[in-house]
Amino acid sequence: MVTPDELDSVKLETTHVIEIERFVDEKEIDRLYWNDPYYLIPNEKTGVEAYTVIREALSEAGRIALGRVVMHTRERLVALEPRDKGILVYTLRMADEVVEPRHAFADIPATKPDRRMIEIARKIIEQQEGAFEPDKFEDRYETALRELIRRKEKGEKLVTAEPVEDDNVIDLMEALKKSLKQKGAAGRRKAG
């Protein structure tokens, strides 16, 4: 049994200093390791010059700095990336926090899918292709939650629907064909 006092003795004090250990090419860091982004901003005017020098050097070298910092009493591995006039800091997952894809996907058979299904799926991908526009995406849960709160504030009686049982087995080929036809018809209506 570990006591709360013993746990407190292991806590690290939060620091405001990032200890840089090495510089790597961004492409060397598998996306599985990237975690949360933060803006790194100098907290004093005297640190601005060093900050801009580090940012420019990283940018010119095409490198990312790897370091450590204590956040919320836990040491974190971080990556510093130059961005615009500043530096982004991403927390990185530790190796023991990442499951190797070969282990995660071990039970998926290595068989090749039907070529016709792939072609239909590729056509759907082409029809739905577009730019990444994060402002076009909406957090539907948050919107629904805000609406729920608004309705409760107005004193409306809320009705809860019974969950729908989804025990239908879908024919993937038919679903892909149907989706392709619907997307194609919508495109023809827009063009007309």
pLDDT tens, 103-122? 999 999 989 999 999 999 99
Q: Do 18 and 88 belong together in one domain?
A: yes
Q: Do 124 and 87 belong together in one domain?
A: no
Q: Do 19 and 90 belong together in one domain?
A: yes
**Tokens 């990444």 belong to residue:** 132
Q: Do 82 and 117 belong together in one domain?
A: no
pTM: 0.65
Domain presence at residue 100: no
The total number of structural domains in the chain stands at 2
Domain presence at residue 164: no
- Res 80: pLDDT: 96
Domain presence at residue 139: yes
How large a percentage of the chain has pLDDT more than 90? 44
Residue type for position 113 = P
Is pLDDT at 188 greater than 60 in this prediction? Answer: no
DSSP-derived letter for residue 16 is S
- Res 164: pLDDT: 66
Domain presence at residue 163: no
- H or E element, residue 10: helix 4-10
* Mean pLDDT confidence for 23-43: 92
- Res 189: pLDDT: 55
Question: Higher confidence at residue 24 or residue 13?
Answer: 24
Domain presence at residue 142: yes
Q: How far is CA 115 from the centre of its chain?
A: 31
Domain range for 30 is 4-94
